Structure 1
């Protein structure tokens, strides 16, 4: 396993870069490669990872947070109740607070690239269970937009 620190992370797009401790070129990292809570990836967070070479350069896989960002403990954010949009989140950690306890991590697995059919099925199920008042036409419109987004980011194959 290699080690480094997150140098940039775009929480909206879900990706960033790790600066390896050995001084080599920055390594691309996607939030789906994180073993645990995706909310903790932020600049300065130390991580451990494996890397593979791609046509675009090195990419981190099996990423695991191994500490807290420098200064997080001094500023009293370590162990503080995390928030998202100013609302406390029970039992979780937040990207906004850029903190981790270094202890037990969520039991969340890695994300698989889905077929377009599976993505549409899961998206429909999520929309129907989350917002049961949506009409069929609204579900189709939202699902089409989400599928376009997934295609652009390589989240689906086919």
Structure 2
């Protein structure tokens, strides 16, 4: 297996590039090649992968996230959905009880988790929306969520 770090990833289009640790040319990666949650791909995330040569250059296959980006504040517990220390937020975006906690506070999502949940809701409830429409609605909803403090970014 080769190793590297994600240098760019477009969540909307589902593709990006990995910078190999050996210093060779960047490798194209598509979200469908990820063994796991595609939302885990972000700049700085270390990955293991196999590569195949295509007419457009190297392409990553069998991609697996092997850690968090350097300097990431979220711990393994936060990635697993356990409450983040000292806060109301949950990285996974899902409350263990499915509702408000005993203090009357609700989960605060990361912007990434909010975008993922919003996209999933739009795609499943209105399947004939175009990608551009989904991006526009999601951006507007994220702006609203920021104004009301529903997301941490």
If the TM-score is normalised by the length of the shorter chain, which range does it land in?
0.5 to 0.7
TM-score by length of 1: 0.54
Equivalent position of 1:124 in the other structure: none
Counterpart-to-counterpart distance in 2, 1:35 and 1:67: 13
Counterpart-to-counterpart distance in 1, 2:91 and 2:32: 21
RMSD: 2.9
SS at match of 1:69: coil
TM-score by length of 2: 0.55
Counterpart-to-counterpart distance in 2, 1:66 and 1:28: 18
Contact kept? 1:39, 1:95, Cα under 8 Å: no
SS at match of 2:32: helix
Q: 1:96 to 1:61 in 2, by over 3 A?
A: same
Equivalent position of 2:104 in the other structure: none
Counterpart-to-counterpart distance in 2, 1:49 and 1:4: 8
Match of 1:82 among 91, 96, 110: 91
Higher relative contact order (CA 8 A, sep 6+): 1
Shift of 1:95: 8.1
Where in structure 2 are there 5+ consecutive unaligned residues? 79-83, 85-89, 97-109, 114-122, 132-153
Shift of 1:37: 1.1
Q: 1:11 to 1:51 in 2, by over 3 A?
A: same
Shift of 1:39: 1.0
Shift of 1:90: 5.1
Shift of 1:19: 0.3
